[in-house]
Amino acid sequence: MVRLKDRYLLVNILYTDLPPSTSTPVPVPVPVSDLLLYNQPTNSDLKPQTLLKDVRNEVTSLFGDCGAGKVNHNLQVKYFSPATSTFILRVSRDHYRLVWAALSFMQSCPMKNGRPCIYRVVRVSGTMRKVEKETIRRARLLVLAAKEELKGKSSSVSLGDLLRGDNNNQQRTLPILGDQDVDSASEDDMVEG
């Protein structure tokens, strides 16, 4: 049986400016911590459909009709949370790079007077479950960081972890050079080929 193979992209929306506050017309320069600055919520008016449309447009402009055709048939927003600026996209496995590239080229929120932002693909996975797990993991780290900040400590470490991207690195200890013979390993690979 043919099985449709998908990839799920976990994407964060990063804003660099402060949100346009509606209550105070003149923005008072309040010191905002990095944690809040880089994890701002997205405007609730943004609907998943709009987001999807924007991604499609971007793919079309970058890769033309061919690229759009490859991607469009099963591009879907599985999850979109404006409060945390996180969304999960489903793409077909063969063409997820096109979507990723399109996301990298998108520069603003797809609405009227959209704020400038960056779409950051945090995780690519074959199953929804793993993406959800990764989202939870990242949210946990942020919660920890926020709690530390509430206590008055700086939380640069966990924020750094988040921004570093590779989620496995922090669990891994230092790579210790073992008995592995670098030379022979590479030679063996050559032989295999």
Find the Cα–Cα–Cα–Cα dihedral 146, 117, 110, 57, rounded to 10°.
-130
Q: Is position 30 an interface residue for another protein (rule: CB under 8 A)?
A: yes
Q: Spell out, one character per residue from 110 to 149, where the chain touches another protein: x when CB under 8 A holds, - when not.
A: ------------------xx--xx-xx--xx-xx--xx-x
**10, 11, 35, 162: which one contacts another protein (CB under 8 A)?**
35
Cβ–Cβ under 8 Å, residues 7 and 91: yes
Q: Is position 1 an interface residue for another protein (rule: CB under 8 A)?
A: no
Instruction: Label the pairing between strands 86-92 and 6-15.
Output: antiparallel
Instruction: Please give the residues from 46 up to 85 whose contact with another protein meets the rule CB under 8 A.
Output: 78-84
Cβ–Cβ under 8 Å, residues 74 and 92: yes
Residues that bind another protein (CB under 8 A): 18-19, 21-23, 30, 32-33, 35-37, 39-44, 78-84, 86, 128-129, 132-133, 135-136, 139-140, 142-143, 146-147, 149-150, 173-179, 181-184, 186-188, 190-193
